[in-house]
Structure formats: C-alpha cells, structure tokens
Amino acid sequence: MDITILGIESSCDDTSAAVIRNTTLLSNVIASQEVHRKYGGVIPELASRAHQQNIIPVIDTAIKEAGISASEIDGIAFTRGPGLLGSLLVGVSFAKGLALSLDVPMMEINHLQGHIFSHFIDLPDRELPHPRFPFLCLLVSGGHSQIVLVKDYAEMEIIGTTIDDAAGEAFDNCAKVMGLPYPGGPVIDRLAKEGAPQRFKFAKPSVDGLDYSFSGLKTSFLYFLRDEMRDNPDFIEQNKADLCASLQSTIIDTLLNKLVKAAKQYDIDEIAIAGGVSANSGLRNAVAAEGRKRGWNTYLPEFKFTTDNAAMIAITGYFKYQRGEFAPMDIAPVSRIGDFSKTE
C-alpha cells in the first residue's frame, strides 16, 4: 500500500512543504526570506512573522504540485527542532491543526536526522544512490558539525561533535569580517575557486577524539586580518580570493581529518555528507577525492537537499510512519538538540 506523507519544515528562515509517496518525492516547495540579508544574519522575530505569512500558500502549492488532494495524505511530518523556537511554533501549530482536520497521525522530526535521511529520497524520474547501513554521515551546517554513526533507520549515534562553533558559523563569521554579504559560505566558496589555498596559514584546532572546534580558527583569522591591515588597509580587498581559498582549505582539512579517523576507528567505508555546508564545492570535491583514495563509497546529497527543506522531513516521517511512531497532540517544539532526550 502506498504511503503519502506531507512534510513541514520551519526551523529557521525557510518555510518549506513537501509531499512524498513512499520514498518518491512528488513536490518540494521552499519560500526563502530575503528580509534577513540586510541584517547580516537571521532575526528570529522577523523569521516567525514571515513563516506565518508563508506557511498556508507554501503547503497549498506543495499539495497542488504533487497532483494530489489533501484527503490522500496519510500522515504529516513536522520539524520539532532544533531551531528558532518562534519559527518552529508556526510549523508545529499548523501541523497539529491540519492533522486534526484530516484525522491523520503526526510524526515529529529531528531536523538533523532529516538532513541525514535526505540520502534516501528518490526522484520521480530516477532512483538516487542510497548509503548502506551502517554508514558515517558528516553533518555540517551553520549551527552543527557532527559525525554520526547511522546504524539503521531508527538508530544512530553522534560520535563526534563541535565543542564550540560550527563549520558553517566559521564560514559566515569570517565572511562578515571580510565585508562579504550574508550568507557568507556560498560567497567564500565562489571566491575560493579563484585563489591559492596554501597561501595563508591559520590555526588548526587540536581536540581529542572525534570532536571539532572552530572558535580558535575564527580568532586566528580575525587577528591575522587585524595585523595585516595595520600595514595595508586594502589587504582584504587585494587578497580576497586567496583569503577565502586558504580559510576554506583549513576548514575542510579539519572536517576531513576527523572523518578519516572515524572511518578507520569504526571500520566503515560507507561515507555520506549532509547539511548546508555539504553544498560547498570544495568539501564535496575533497570528500569524493578522499573516497577514491581510501576505497570509500561516498554519497553527496543533491544540491536542493542541502538547504533546509521539507523533503527531508517527509522522508524521515515516512520511516516513522512505517514504524508507527506517532506524536501526541500536546507535543511542543524544542530549540536545542539536547532537549530531545529530556522530553522523549
């Protein structure tokens, strides 16, 4: 029997809805919020207001583009967290109301698990390659940098995480220091292609185990620019491409060193990446090259699944629906990943 799931994602500044039938994506609609660009970062109050404006037309469009009626929906998956509480409330509240009206169950989804399970989405015109269990997933975004051991659809373990800042945060903050527009990660990626990655050296963290740290790199980068600009106020403008290439190379080396270590430690050759930073061309190329060198089977997500999207929420909801893991009506959103274990 076919299972049709509506996914709703509203964890940050993108309102998204998607429809999946079994594992095949029928629609994936995203409304991005341009209002934050002039502030150089997401403003939570503005984000929640924009979600309220966008959520009805986005869901309506997703259902129409899927070519189904609302009565064909078997379950509704929604992002419970982590994320901005005001933004999450909009999605959670709408999911509850719609589930009541359609008399269908709800599935609460961890946003980070959604990124990982985006690797199991198929497109209408083709099946995408799926990692085999167990596999390692390097999950890198603006708020998180983790290595996750994925044992099956219902069991996964975080074996490495950042002890301070995330890789995406390092990209965006260093871009802001250089006067680049928000979001800075894609701009650095574009400029890095024109620069020399070995020209400048920045601090690489030394953290035990499989954990990451990027706060020292940010500080090293800031102090380096400060010292250089004392003698040459135009230093950034004159060396922008090399700065971006060197910064990006340092971040990617840091991410890959721990990923290689984890693959050896757990004897796993199925390696995936996910999250917003997985769209970075330098990281994608480096993971693919490392995979060829070490005999890994590597899985790089489709670009449309690297950003926050409801397709990944819907596919994770599909697996939960199959297991009968439904959410109660009194469920509340959680802003931090640690709150999941406290409330389940």
pLDDT band at 143 (very low <50, low <70, confident <90, very high): confident
State the helix-helix crossing angle for 240-266 and 167-177, rounded to 10 degrees. Answer: 170
Q: Band of the pLDDT at 338, cuts 50, 70, 90?
A: low
Digit-coded pLDDT (tens) for 74-115: 999 999 999 999 999 999 999 999 999 999 999 999 999 999
Q: Are 124 and 265 spatial neighbours (Cβ–Cβ below 8 Å)?
A: no
Four-CA torsion 160, 23, 303, 32, nearest 10 degrees: -100
For residues 322 and 218, what is the distance between their CA atoms, to the nearest angstrom?
44
pLDDT band for position 343 (cuts 50, 70, 90): very low
Report how far residue 116's alpha carbon sits from residue 273's, in angstroms, rounded to the nearest whole number: 8
Q: How many residues does the chain have?
A: 344
**If you write DSSP's letter for every residue of 127-194 in order, what string do you get?**
PPP-PPSSEEEEEE-SS-EEEEEEEETTEEEEEEEBSS--HHHHHHHHHHHTTPPSSHHHHHHHHHTT
What SS3 state is found at 332? coil
More confident call, 234 vs 340? 234
Is residue 175 scored above 80 in pLDDT? Answer: yes
Structure-model confidence comparison of residues 334 and 343, the more confident one: 334
pLDDT band at 193 (very low <50, low <70, confident <90, very high): very high
pLDDT digits (tens, 9 = 90+) for 117-142: 999 999 999 889 999 999 999 999 88
Mean pLDDT, rounded, of the chain: 94
pTM above 0.95, yes or no: no
Give Cα separations from 68 to 74, 97, 125, 179, 237 (angstroms): 12, 19, 18, 46, 52
Query: 240-266 and 281-294 are packed helices; what angle lies between their axes, rounded to 10 degrees?
Result: 40
pLDDT for the residue numbered 32: 75
Q: What is the sign of the dihedral through the CA atoms of 271, 275, 280 and 283?
A: negative
240-266 and 215-231 helices cross at what angle (nearest 10)? 160
Q: Strand, helix or coil at 46?
A: helix
d(CA 213, CA 198): 21
- Residue carrying structure tokens 């990655």: 197
Task: Give me the pLDDT at residue 344, please.
Answer: 43
pLDDT tens digits for range 6-60:
999 999 888 999 999 999 999 999 997 665 566 566 777 788 888 899 999 999 9
pLDDT score at 339 = 58
Name 287's Cβ contacts closer than 8 Å, sequence gap at least 6: 138, 256, 259, 271, 273, 298, 300
DSSP-assigned beta bridge partners for residue 109: 79
> For tokens 């964890």, what's the residue?
11
Q: What are the start-end ranges of the H helices in the chain?
A: 44-66, 85-102, 111-117, 167-177, 184-192, 215-231, 235-238, 240-266, 281-294, 310-323, 338-343
Q: Hey, what domains does the chain have and what are their CATH numbers?
A: 4-128+305-343 (3.30.420.40), 135-301 (3.30.420.40)
24 vs 71: CA distance, rounded Å? 19
Torsion of CA 286, 287, 293, 295, to 10 degrees: -170
Phi, psi of 76 (to 5 degrees): -120, 120
